[in-house]
Structure formats: structure tokens, C-alpha cells
């Protein structure tokens, strides 16, 4: 065992995290937590994880549920392709593995939404197997340890980090070692103001020895993100609002949103032509800003009061939902913010 690995293991056993709800030899629980933890902090994930596991305690429960229900339990976590992939993967486990979680690395990494590092974490924590991981926190630790320059998203840098991760693997205590790397990156070797004086492996760290800790890893190269503008129609009738399911794949695919329009469209005319809804008032609301990985978005909502509804037979991609219950559905964060901004103490009354 390398001295670096033994230092990590000893530190983790004394000071690391031991009470996270997914820390058990259960590959399903580890899988759910690892997917939730992608792009999301532990403190945010825990309540979502606990609610999700209460409703979907195993592969069968997740596979048998509707995608709408899965997305509703994910609503607020963002990056909704993660939830869609969980649902697809659970159904594939029913078809291909008799409802059991697969026990080989190759079978796990072949499931939707699971990459090399996530599969490795599942094998380590779910089965006790020896694999190297390389999540965002571990990339930062190893980049500083070896003074590996460059942005980790670049192939050259990623290859060097993977090589280091494989080289440092101990022959035993793999779970404590892996958890220790993650704990170190999450609490000590953080992006800003790292706590080097508390680091158990600073004597091995080239960046620390050369006083260049904040130089590693290099940040993502800056580039201007495109900006988009959408309109949304908040159509109210009898204490309910009209929501429309967004197509998948796509932005918020499978989630329920207020109907989208171009900012220059005639909202009242579209209400009638699309949904058979006649409105008598159109009230602009404050714009909502939202950021995605690849673009930024400004949403301009307009609030409208419906006076007449013509039923459309057979429509399944939109529904009227009591405004008090909208948040129980699978809706994206901007829709939640619009609902919060609405005064619902005295909802508009229909004529």
C-alpha cells in the first residue's frame, strides 16, 4: 500500500463521513445516491434521496413507476436526464437481469446514465471491489497532488488523472480509501480557500510544496454562453392553471411547464387556437432568469384569466392543475419560482 493511500484511509476512519444515508453495502442505494450527487451537493441531495428511496426502495418499485412519478420525486434537483436514465436503467434491469442490480463493472457501465467513475463507485461501495474513481472532488485532489496542469475536461488531462488514480489504489480497505478521497475533496481540498493545514496528505502534495495549490486544477476555459428568451403563459381558470408536458428529449423533457410562446406572439390568440381557451386579461409578470450548462435563459411570463374553455377530447399533453398542488408535480425550478411569485391568496375569479 502506498503511504498516500494509508494516510487517506487512517484519516477517513477517524475524521471522514460515516453517517450518510447511502453508506451501506447496497448497490441500488449507492447507484441512486451517485446519480443524485452528480452536479449536486450532499446537503441538497440527502432529503431528495430519502424521499426517493421511501417511494422507490428497490429496482422493481422504480421500474414499475411511471416516468411522471419519478420526475415528480426528482423535481427541484435539476439535470432531469438523470431521472429519465434512472427509470430506463431500472426497466433494463428487469428485462436483462431479472430485476437484480448487475454485479459486473461492464454490465453496470453499460446502463444509461452511468459513466466510468460512477460505475467504479457503485462497484466499490456496492460490492467492495477494487476500482478507481474520478469524480469532480477527486480530480481536484489528484490534480493538486501531482501538480497536473490543464482543465480536467480535456482528454490529455483526464488521461493523466485516471493514470494517477489507478496507480494510487491500495490493495485493501478500498471503501475507506475511496470515501476518504471524496471526503477530502469535499471538505478539505476545496476549490476556494483549501484547508491545507488540516490535510492528511499535504506532505505528498506537489502543489502544496511549491505553493501553487490554487493553480490546480485549471478552470474551464471561459466562453460566452448564448442567451435565449422565452415567453410563458400562466392561464388561470377556477383556481387551476394550465400545464403542458414538454417533449423528450429536450430541455425539461417529460416535465410539466406553463405553455411556451415566443415573446412577440399574441398570447390571447394562441390560447384560443391551441387550447380552446378564451382570456379577458393579459398581465405581464417579472422576468425570470435561469442558467443551463450551455445557455442562459430569460423567461417572460404573462398571467391570464380564462373566461371560457372549450374541451379538447383526447388531449394528454396538457392538463389543468389546482394551483395549490402544482408543486406536487414534476416541474422545473423556473416554474416553481413563477408560482412563488404569484399572489394566490385571492386567485383571479372567472366571469
Active site residues: 34
The CA distances from residue 176 to 10, 14, 180, 248, in Å, are 8, 10, 6, 40
Which residue's C-alpha cell is 426528482?
Answer: 74
Cell of 101: 442490480
DSSP designation for 127: H
CA–CA dist 8, 6 (Å, integer): 5
CA–CA dist 241, 306 (Å, integer): 10
The residues with which 145 forms a beta bridge, in sequence order, are none
CA–CA dist 42, 33 (Å, integer): 9
CA–CA dist 284, 232 (Å, integer): 10
DSSP-derived 3-state class of residue 81: helix
Compute the radius of gyration of the chain from its Cα atoms.
Answer: 24
Residues 6+ apart with CB under 8 A from 79: 38, 39, 40
Amino acid at each position: 500500500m502506498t503511504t498516500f493511500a494509508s494516510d487517506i484511509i487512517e484519516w477517513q476512519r477517524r475524521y471522514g463521513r460515516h453517517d450518510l444515508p447511502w453508506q451501506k453495502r447496497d448497490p441500488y442505494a449507492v447507484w441512486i445516491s451517485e446519480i443524485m450527487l452528480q452536479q449536486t451537493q450532499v446537503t441538497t441531495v440527502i432529503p431528495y434521496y430519502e424521499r426517493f428511496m421511501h417511494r422507490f426502495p428497490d429496482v422493481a418499485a422504480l421500474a414499475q413507476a411511471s416516468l411522471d412519478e419519478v420526475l415528480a420525486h426528482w423535481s427541484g434537483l435539476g439535470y432531469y436526464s438523470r431521472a429519465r436514465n434512472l427509470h430506463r436503467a431500472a426497466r433494463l434491469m428487469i428485462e436483462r437481469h431479472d430485476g437484480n442490480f448487475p454485479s459486473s463493472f461492464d454490465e453496470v457501465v453499460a446502463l444509461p446514465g452511468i459513466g466510468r467513475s460512477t460505475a467504479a463507485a457503485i462497484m466499490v461501495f456496492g460490492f467492495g471491489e477494487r476500482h478507481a474513481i474520478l469524480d469532480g472532488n477527486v480530480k481536484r485532489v489528484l490534480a493538486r497532488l501531482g501538480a497536473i496542469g490543464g482543465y480536467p475536461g480535456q482528454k490529455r488531462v483526464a488521461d493523466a488523472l485516471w493514470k494517477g488514480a489507478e496507480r494510487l489504489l491500495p490493495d485493501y480497505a478500498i471503501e475507506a480509501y475511496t470515501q476518504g478521497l471524496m471526503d477530502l475533496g469535499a471538505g478539505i481540498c476545496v476549490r476556494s480557500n483549501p484547508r491545507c493545514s488540516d490535510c492528511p496528505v499535504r506532505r505528498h502534495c506537489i502543489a502544496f510544496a511549491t505553493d501553487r495549490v490554487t493553480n490546480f486544477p485549471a478552470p474551464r476555459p471561459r466562453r460566452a454562453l448564448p442567451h435565449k428568451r422565452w415567453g410563458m403563459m400562466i392561464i388561470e381558470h377556477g383556481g387551476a392553471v394550465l400545464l403542458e408536458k414538454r417533449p423528450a428529449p429536450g430541455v425539461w423533457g417529460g416535465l410539466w411547464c406553463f405553455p411556451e410562446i415566443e415573446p412577440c406572439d399574441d398570447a390571447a390568440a394562441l390560447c384560443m387556437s391551441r387550447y380552446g381557451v378564451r382570456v379577458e386579461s393579459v398581465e405581464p409578470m417579472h422576468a425570470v432568469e435561469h442558467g443551463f450548462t450551455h445557455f442562459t435563459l430569460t423567461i417572460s411570463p404573462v398571467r391570464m384569466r380564462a373566461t371560457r374553455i372549450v374541451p379538447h377530447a383526447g388531449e394528454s399533453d396538457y392538463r389543468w392543475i389546482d394551483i395549490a398542488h402544482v408543486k406536487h408535480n414534476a416541474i422545473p425550478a423556473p416554474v416553481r419560482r413563477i408560482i412563488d411569485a404569484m399572489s394566490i391568496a385571492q386567485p383571479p375569479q372567472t366571469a
